[in-house]
Amino acid sequence: MAVKPARTVNAIDQTRRMLSLVTYLRERPGARIADVARAFGITEDELVADLDLLPMCGTSFRGGDLLDIDTDGERIWWHNPAALGEEAAEPLRLAADEATALLVAARAVATLPGLRESDRQALLRATAKVEAAAGEAAGASSRLSVTFESEGGVFADVDRAISERRRLWIRYYSPARDEVTEREIDPIRLVSVGHTYVEAWCRRSEARRTFRLDRVAEIRILDAPAAPPEIELRDLSEGLVQPAAEDPEVVVEVGPGGRWVAEYYPHDSADELPDGGLRITLRTPDPASLRRLALRLGRDGRIVSPPELAESARRAAVEALAAYDTAGPAGSGQ
């Protein structure tokens, strides 16, 4: 099967490209998709994805102010280019709470370690302009500050590594195995699906892996160049976890209190049980990771198959209870 080369594009790069795309299309009515994609050094599919986002942009969310851009599959048509004209644009007016939130967030982002200096300076210049425009409404923002937890620094390092095509060393906590491992990864892209993740080629497992940023205990940018193999980027519109047909099948039975499992875990089927519960059939590349789910469900659910996983979950529950009994109630002195 043919594969597309992995493209290391981050959110900042895409934003820059889309801003340039607006100017480019305004000067070239009816531009051909193939020509525009070639000019920007991207694939036609990537260009169409950008075109799907542009109609959500504009001077406001009022009718007529959003960009009316579409394509017939061959050419790109912009039906209201005057929407960005000086005569159409009204001065942006921020409420006091909006100005405060924007300025606090901007100053916090500017302190992120690993942020490219050119981006930091551009952000500070924009912040100064917003502060001047907001006037007295900006006063409250100077008395507030936000400190990012470790994920902020990790994000900046990953974003920088993607931009500079460099390898990363990480210490990563895996809740499924309850262990911290050291890995070298070639980052491919940042994705946000509920949490923020980096999709990368893991040198330890020699496979594509997705790492949640708030589970990265330590990170370093290496001098070695990132060289992930050519792999097809997954469509994550249906969610981050997308089991494959060849993944092992697991059957879980839950009571009424465990029906939420069918809402949060992709599954093949969810059959009603007489007591109001569900018999859920799902697939996962790592069945052992469901032991934690079984412990969380407690009396509200159990793993039915495969038998070895069911027995493993039962033993984990027994060991957890034994450890609790040995510790004794809090404050008992035992």
Of 71-85, 96-110, 126-140, 162-176, give the range with the top mean pLDDT. 162-176
Helices (H), 111-225: 117-134, 150-164
Tokens 């001098």 map to which residue? 223
β-pairing, 69-71 vs 76-78, is antiparallel
Q: Provide the total of helices (H) and of strands (E) in the chain, helices listed first.
A: 9, 11
Q: How far apart are CA 152 and CA 190, in angstroms?
A: 13
Q: 157-204: per-residue pLDDT in tens? A: 898 899 899 999 999 987 656 678 999 999 998 887 667 888 899 999
* 114 pLDDT above the threshold of 60: no
